[in-house]
């Protein structure tokens, strides 16, 4: 860091260094006006290109707003008022559909308009701060950066904006907008009886949440068992894979084991095969007439016409899925732990030996803490990954066997596969969104509670 | 002592042998069935009565419903485009998050953490409608573009692995470059990137494999547009009730055909994976 301290006088005072309040408080009239008329301070001080860009953004926003945005906000509040109707066309002698409002699109455009408004407020703050920075430099007789300087700064002190611009746009469009949209759906009546464009749906407040938790309703009778199975599944799947995988890695890495590479290869093979291939073939292998049942019949363990209901009996299905998941997950853990086991710095061990530490002490004091330091985030991600483990359940059992006591769910459905059924098959988007929010809350509680206490979050730079 | 060690060693090897037998068996069964001569789906025996290559030959003589070569090409194109875009996104974000300190950094990290906790396809329906609104779901080719966007659009959030790697490159190396008058951009291009081959390979590889193994997004976006399917939904289709009796063995042949290149890629880059997990510069 030493080299930066030599530059005592800041070369540029950057707008982003001042807070909005500072800029507004210390700024002159033109700076303050720049919060309303974007780019004003820049244009007056000959930063034409920068100012024009700010101004163009503002003009574009207001054109959008008056052309479309205000209507969109209105529709967002009502979610549409004109229902699609049938009008008798006398000339043709048929009923025609009159176009009604599409609640879904009203909601979507509303979300987009609100986000754009936030964005333009942010741009306005930037414009004000930028005007203040220019004023600040002018007062001190410092060089006012030209547009060329601005572009050059993208390679140096503003390189993060340059690098993050595109990825963040992608994240906003493909993750944040859809997410906000789906969260809002949880507060509407967008279910199978209110499907746009034929029908309108409306805001219903917390009604969907209360339906999910109200005593004695079919939804609540589905939610709690599905939730408990999700948690049992996540704990079992994560712990079995981690413990067995670590044991396997230790077994292969022990001194006495010969042909380590060969054994590792045998297990890596199953990781290398694409997961959906293994899952789909496992499904056929454990089918009622699949090879496992055929083998059992051949050995006379079950009768010639009998078959073990691997996926059709609830308890068997759960056990089968966890076993298959062990088959899939153990080699993964084996792989990642092998690398880490081998990379524990040798000096640590040497130092411990010189101090006369015994093997168990070395394991307890060096190997284990090291593994925990590296693997805790890993364990948390695999736990949350298992709560959201759509593929394994969907491709193996499809959530089945179905249960009549449940609201469109099966005995092995996780919350996420139930979400899938509710939205894709059942078209109850509002209920699906409620499940999504609940899953989020569970994950947030679990991971924030644990993740923030791990060494690798608190001390990212431990190995830097 | 010696006898005891011999006994434990033997026991360990026997245990390993049993375990690896269990792990290899299903793969062996897949390969075996792909060469089975008799058609039809489930049989009441394990060992095929005859062996043939026809399953593979028929697989590549695709017809309009089950057009394996076309699906393969579709997936390849989609995979290449989304790999380039998402690897670029991931590297940018992870580099910034690891090496640079700026005002919004912690906020961004926390937002990324929070976004990662929502079930991925909760937003799928909305993505579907956004793409529809933008007119991307009109024709098959546009649907493929849409799929590329879906696979790579939010890729910037998957930066943890690469960030962990960049975190292990000592800061002093960057500082040495600054002293020599390099800008941050120069440092990134000429210092960091050349040191990061393992993680770049890893990022490329994982993004490349994504489209081959994703089922759910592809299915939702493609719908019933069979000619534009990717491999994963194509193979799934072959197991559907109306096809399974005829395509059961070809399904296994298809599995073998796509598993081989992916497995080779995977095994070749194992080294990069391990290096990527454990850091760039070893003390």
Residue A424's nearest CA partner among A439, A438, A435, A440 is A435
Backbone torsions φ then ψ of B67, nearest 5 degrees: -110, 80
Chain A contacts in chain B segment 18-47 (CB below 8 A): 19-20, 22-24, 26-27, 29-30, 42-46
- Interface probe with A: pick from B23, B122, B216, B223, most Cβ of A within 10 Å: B122
Q: Which of B85, B125, B281 to mutate to test the interface with A (most CBs of A within 10 A)?
A: B125
Q: Kindly list the structural domains of chain A, giving each domain's residue range(s) and its CATH number in brackets, ordered by start.
A: 11-86+96-205 (no CATH), 214-458 (1.10.3720.10)
Q: Is the CB of residue B52 less than 8 Å away from at least one CB of chain A? A: no
The pLDDT of residue B280 is above 60 = no
Tell me which chain A residue has its CA closest to the CA of residue B17. Answer: A263
What is this structure's pTM? 0.80
> Which residue in A3, A178, A275 is closest to B130 by CB distance?
A178
SS3 assignment for A243-307:
HHHHHHHHHHHCCCCCCHHHHHHHHHHHHHCCHHHHHHHHHHHCCCCCHHHHHHHHCCCCCCCCC
Q: Which of B92, B120, B215 sits opposite A164 (nearest CB)?
A: B92
Token pair 């800061």 is found at: B171
Residues 6+ apart with CB under 8 A from A210: none
Q: Which of A28, A211, A17 shows the shortest CA–CA distance to B102?
A: A17
Q: What is the pLDDT of residue A269?
A: 83
Residues A51 and A43 sit within 8 Å (Cβ to Cβ)? yes
Query: Cβ contact (<8 Å) for A390 and B89?
Result: no
Each of the 464 residues of chain A gets a pLDDT tens digit; together they read: 444 444 444 444 555 567 788 888 888 888 888 888 888 888 888 888 888 999 999 999 999 999 888 888 888 888 877 777 777 777 777 777 777 788 888 888 898 899 999 999 999 988 888 888 888 888 887 787 888 888 887 777 778 888 888 888 888 888 888 888 888 989 988 888 888 777 888 888 888 898 888 887 888 888 999 999 999 999 999 989 988 888 888 888 877 778 888 888 888 888 878 888 888 888 888 888 888 888 888 888 887 777 888 888 889 999 999 999 999 889 888 887 877 777 777 788 788 888 888 777 877 787 777 777 777 777 887 888 888 888 888 888 888 788 888 888 888 899 889 988 888 888 888 888 899 889 888 888 887 777 666 655 555 555 44
Q: Look up residue A93 and give its two tokens.
A: 């002698």
Tokens of A122: 């942010």
Query: Considering only CB atoms, which chain A residues are within 8 Å of B127?
Result: 174, 178
Q: Which residue of A has its CA nearest to B169?
A: A464
Q: Is B260 on the interface with A (CB under 8 A)?
A: no
Which of B16, B119, B215 is facing A416, going by the closest CB pair? B119
What is A180-214 written as a DSSP string? HHHHHHTTB--STTS-TTTS---B-TTHHHHHHHS
CA nearest A461 in B: which residue? B167
Six-digit token string for B20: 């690896």
Please give the residue of chain B at the shortest CA–CA distance from A307. B44
d(CA A37, CA A130): 13
- Cα–Cα distance between A239 and B4 in angstroms, integer? 31
Is A289 close to B19, i.e. CB distance below 8 A?
A: no
Angle, to 10 degrees, between the axis of helix A275-285 and the axis of helix B2-34?
Answer: 90
The verdict on a CB contact (< 8 Å) between B13 and A258 is: yes
A62: Cα separation from own chain's centroid: 33
Q: Are B131 and A187 in contact (CB under 8 A)?
A: no
Q: Is B276 a residue whose pLDDT tops 80?
A: no
Instruction: For helices A103-139 and B124-133, give the axis angle rounded to 10 degrees.
Output: 80
Q: How does DSSP classify residue B46?
A: S
Query: By the 8 A CB rule, do A393 and A321 touch?
Result: yes
Contact B24 A270 (CB under 8 A): yes
Note whether B215 contacts A: Cβ–Cβ < 8 A.
yes
Contact between chains at B255 and A280 (C-beta distance less than 8 A): yes
- B168 closest CB neighbour out of A181, A331, A463: A463
Chain A interface includes B281 (CB < 8 A):
no
Under 8 Å CB-to-CB from A96, ≥6 apart: which residues?
A: A86, A87, A88, A89
Which tokens go with A163?
Answer: 């690098």
Q: Which residue has the higher pLDDT, B42 or B178?
A: B178
Q: Which of B121, B193, B279 would best serve as a mutation to test chain A binding (most A beta carbons within 10 A)?
A: B121
Q: How far apart are CA B32 and CA B17, in angstroms?
A: 21
d(CA A116, CA A110): 10
Of A160, A268, A444, the CB nearest to B114: A444
In chain B, positions 135-174, which contact chain A (CB-CB < 8 Å)? 149-150, 152-157, 160, 167-171
Q: pLDDT band for position B207 (50/70/90)? A: confident
Are the beta carbons of A84 and A197 closer than 8 angstroms?
Answer: yes
pLDDT of residue B239: 82
Q: If we measure between CA atoms, which residue out of A218, A181, A213, A221 comes closest to residue A438?
A: A213
Asked if B42's CB is within 8 angstroms of A447's CB, the reply is no
Inter-chain residue contact B16 with A167, CB threshold 8 Å: no
Nearest of B257, B261, B269, B276 to residue B59 by alpha carbon: B257
ipTM: 0.80
For residue B123, list chain A residues with Cβ-Cβ distance below 8 A. Answer: 174-175, 178-179, 181-182
DSSP one-letter string for A301-357: SS-TT----TTTSHHHHHHHHHHHHHHHHHHHHHHHHHHHHHTS-HHHHHHHHHTT-
**Chain B residues whose beta carbon lies within 8 Å of the beta carbon of residue A339:** 273-274, 277-278
> Closest chain B residue to A451 measured between Cα atoms?
B113
B1 pLDDT tier (thresholds 50, 70, 90): low
SS3 state at A98: strand
Question: Structural domains in chain B?
Answer: 54-278 (1.10.3720.10)
């Amino acid at each position: 860091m030493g080299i930066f301290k030599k530059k005592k006088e800041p070369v540029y005072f950057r707008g982003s260094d001042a807070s909005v309040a500072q800029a507004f408080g210390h700024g002159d009239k033109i700076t303050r006006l720049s919060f309303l008329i974007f780019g004003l301070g820049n244009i007056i001080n000959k930063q034409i290109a920068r100012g024009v860009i700010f101004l163009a953004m503002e003009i574009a926003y207001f054109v959008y707003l008056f052309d479309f945005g205000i209507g969109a906000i209105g529709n967002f509040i009502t979610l549409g008022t004109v229902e699609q109707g049938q009008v008798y066309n006398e000339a043709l002698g048929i009923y025609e559909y009159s176009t009604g409002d599409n609640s879904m699109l009203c909601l979507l455009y509303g979300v987009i308009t609100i986000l754009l408004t936030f964005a333009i407020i942010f741009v306005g703050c930037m414009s004000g701060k930028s005007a203040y920075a220019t004023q600040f430099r002018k007062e001190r007789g410092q060089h006012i950066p030209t547009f060329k300087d601005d572009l050059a700064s993208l390679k140096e002190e503003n390189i993060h904006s340059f690098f993050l611009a595109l990825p963040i746009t992608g994240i906003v469009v493909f993750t944040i907008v859809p997410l906000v949209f789906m969260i809002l759906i949880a507060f509407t009546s967008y279910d199978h009886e209110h499907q746009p464009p034929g029908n309108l749906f409306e805001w219903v407040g917390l009604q969907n949440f209360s339906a999910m938790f109200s005593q004695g309703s079919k939804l609540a009778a589905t939610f709690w068992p599905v939730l408990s199975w999700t948690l049992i599944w996540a704990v079992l799947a994560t712990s079995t894979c981690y413990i067995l995988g670590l044991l396997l890695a230790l077994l292969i890495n022990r001194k006495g084991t010969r042909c380590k590479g060969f054994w590792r290869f045998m297990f890596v093979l199953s990781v290398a095969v694409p997961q959906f291939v293994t899952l789909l073939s496992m499904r056929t292998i454990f089918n009622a007439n699949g090879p496992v049942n055929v083998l059992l019949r051949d050995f006379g363990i079950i009768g010639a016409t009998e078959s073990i209901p691997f996926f059709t009996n609830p308890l068997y299905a759960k056990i089968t899925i966890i076993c298959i998941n062990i088959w899939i997950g153990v080699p993964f853990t084996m792989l990642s732990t092998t690398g880490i086991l081998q990379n524990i710095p040798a000096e640590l061990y040497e130092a411990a030996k010189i101090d006369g530490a015994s093997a168990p002490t070395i394991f307890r004091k060096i190997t284990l803490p090291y593994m925990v330091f590296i693997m805790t985030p890993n364990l948390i991600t695999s736990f949350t990954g298992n709560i959201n483990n759509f593929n394994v359940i969907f491709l193996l059992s499809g959530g089945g066997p179905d249960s009549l006591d449940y609201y469109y769910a099966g005995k092995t459905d996780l919350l996420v596969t139930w979400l899938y059924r509710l939205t894709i098959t059942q078209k109850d988007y509002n209920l699906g969104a409620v499940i999504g929010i609940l899953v989020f809350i569970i994950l947030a509680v679990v991971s924030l509670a644990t993740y923030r206490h791990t060494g690798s979050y608190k001390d990212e730079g431990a190995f830097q | 002592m010696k006898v005891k060690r011999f006994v434990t060693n033997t026991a360990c090897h026997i245990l390993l042998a049993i375990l690896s037998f269990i792990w290899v068996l299903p793969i062996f069964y897949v390969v075996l069935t792909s060469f089975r001569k008799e058609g039809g789906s489930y049989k009441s025996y394990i060992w095929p009565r005859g062996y043939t290559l026809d399953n593979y030959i028929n697989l590549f003589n695709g017809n309009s419903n089950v057009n394996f070569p076309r699906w393969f090409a579709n997936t390849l194109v989609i995979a290449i485009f989304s790999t380039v875009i998402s690897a670029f996104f991931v590297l940018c974000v992870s580099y910034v998050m690891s090496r640079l300190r700026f005002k919004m950094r912690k906020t961004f990290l926390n937002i990324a953490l929070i976004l990662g906790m929502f079930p991925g396809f909760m937003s799928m329906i909305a993505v579907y409608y956004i793409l529809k609104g933008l007119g991307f779901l009109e024709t098959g080719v546009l649907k493929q573009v849409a799929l590329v966007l879906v696979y790579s659009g939010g890729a910037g959030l998957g930066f943890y692995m690469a960030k962990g790697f960049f975190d292990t490159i000592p800061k002093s190396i960057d500082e040495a470059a600054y002293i020599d008058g390099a800008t941050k951009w120069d440092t990134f291009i000429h210092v960091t990137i050349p040191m990061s081959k393992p993680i770049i390979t890893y990022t490329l590889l994982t993004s490349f494999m994504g489209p081959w193994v994703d089922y759910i997004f592809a299915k939702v976006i493609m719908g019933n547009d069979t000619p534009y399917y990717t491999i994963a939904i194509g193979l799934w289709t072959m197991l559907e009730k109306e096809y399974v009796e005829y395509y059961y063995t070809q399904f296994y042949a298809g599995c073998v055909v796509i598993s081989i290149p992916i497995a080779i890629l995977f095994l070749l880059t194992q080294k990069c994976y391990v290096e990527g997990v454990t850091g760039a510069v070893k003390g």
